[in-house]
Amino acid sequence: MATQRILDFIATRRPAGPCLVVDLDIVEDNFRAFRKALPDSSIFYAVKANPAPEILRLLASLGSSFDCASVAEIEMALDAGATPNRISFGNTIKKERDVAAAHALGVSLFAVDCVEEVEKVARAAPGARVFCRVLTDGEGAEWPLSRKFGCVPAMAIDVLTHARDLGLVATGVSFHVGSQQCDTEAWDKALADAAMVFGQLAERGIVLTLVNMGGGFPTRYLKDVPSAQAYGRSIFAALRRHFGNKIPETIIEPGRGMVGDAGVIKAEVVLVSKKSVEDKNRWVYLDIGKFGGLAETMDEAIRYPIVTARDHDRMEPCVIAGPTCDSADVLYEKTPYPLPISLTVGDEVLIEGTGAYTTTYSAVAFNGFEPLRSYVI
């Protein structure tokens, strides 16, 4: 996970303070693996996972498209070399003036999940293509997406009909099966729903052409995960099952799976202590916590591999916490984390699999701690 290039960078540059180091070679490998696994799908990288300009430029040069959630993300993708026809405004919750701004920049593909949003898009981006997001149950995902986005498939039929009536191009259906989705079969049910919407709308004379199959592809943390190839096989089989020999144009939007394993955070032990003489677990405080970029430890959902130079010593479970004065800034407590008993103040630790959803989650300066620094090499 920590590549030799990353280890050499940390060893020779000795960057001060906690920082993320991303190896672009791994991002490129991941892009090629997705392309090979799903050769007929377009890849729209979910920019929010890690919007570092070097990553966006690399992906643009490899032919990636981009899933953006705001005008700022659209501008970043354009700056990186993407053309507007390779950008989707994939957020279902948009201000009308942001839809107008995206339209003015040439973006013409928008996500919606209700008639109210369709009306905004029809006013601010007349003639645009829209796809309707449907709910999924998120089962099997380690970072599920709740009910915030999407509508039930039956409502998608009305939403897309309304879009057509307002002069938009009703293009298709999207869904997201939940992030860090470790079940390769999770796409099956959502594709069945999408095929149902396609069929019902065809009866109304509306021919949909696109299924946006979202993200969800995992990063390896402590446990093995299926390969991109395994996801590709399973998804292709589900497309065949539900669309027969009329498979539509498809999109995938990997975020975590594109950059997660390309990054390592270098951090430092600030304190090791106990709460009482009898305390079974040591508390290990690092110079990075929930507000410094490790927000996905919320509910201990994502359990990152942590590597130290003392891992050959005996391990004992620890509570791991961040450096801020917020009592929520505890990373692992319900399930304590084994760390070497010899671990001590000043030791460096490497937190692996941190290329996605870290820099973007770090606070501006909570308690005066600066945002997570990032180096892309």
Ligand X SMILES: *Cc1c(COP(=O)(O)O)cnc(C)c1O
**Catalytic residue IDs:** 325
Tell me the closest approach of the beta carbon of residue 232 to ligand X, in angstroms: 15
Burial pattern 248-276, b for ≥16 Cβ within 10 A else e, equals bebbbbbbbbbbbbbbbbbbbbeebeeee
Tell me the closest approach of the beta carbon of residue 367 to ligand X, in angstroms: 28
Interface segment toward ligand X; rule CB under 6 A; list 42-50, 203-211, 278-286, 360-368: 42-50
Cα–Cα distances in angstroms (integers) from residue 290 to residues 255, 323, 365, in the given order: 20, 9, 13
Q: Scanning residues 158 to 177, which ones bind ligand X (CB under 6 A)?
A: 176
Q: Please report the DSSP string for 73-129 in residue order.
A: HHHHHHHTT--GGGEEE--S---HHHHHHHHHTT--EEEESSHHHHHHHHHHSTT-E
Tell me the closest approach of the beta carbon of residue 286 to ligand X, in angstroms: 24
Binding status of residue 329 toward ligand X by CB under 6 A: no
Residue with CB nearest ligand X? 215
Interface segment toward ligand X; rule CB under 6 A; list 43-51, 117-125, 307-315, 339-347: 43-51
Q: Which is nearer to ligand X, 1 or 286 (CB)?
A: 1
Q: Which is nearer to ligand X, 71 or 286 (CB)?
A: 71
Binding status of residue 257 toward ligand X by CB under 6 A: yes
Q: At what angle do helices 24-37 and 53-62 cross, to 10 degrees?
A: 40
d(CA 363, CA 377): 23
Per-residue binding string, ligand X, 179-198, x by CB under 6 A, is x-------------------
140: left (phi over 0), alpha (psi -120 to 50) or beta: left
Q: Scanning residues 209 to 248, which ones bind ligand X (CB under 6 A)?
A: 214-217
The first and second tokens of residue 342, run together, are: 């010899």
Binding status of residue 144 toward ligand X by CB under 6 A: no
Binding site for ligand X (CB under 6 A): 46, 48-49, 67, 90, 176, 179, 214-217, 253-257
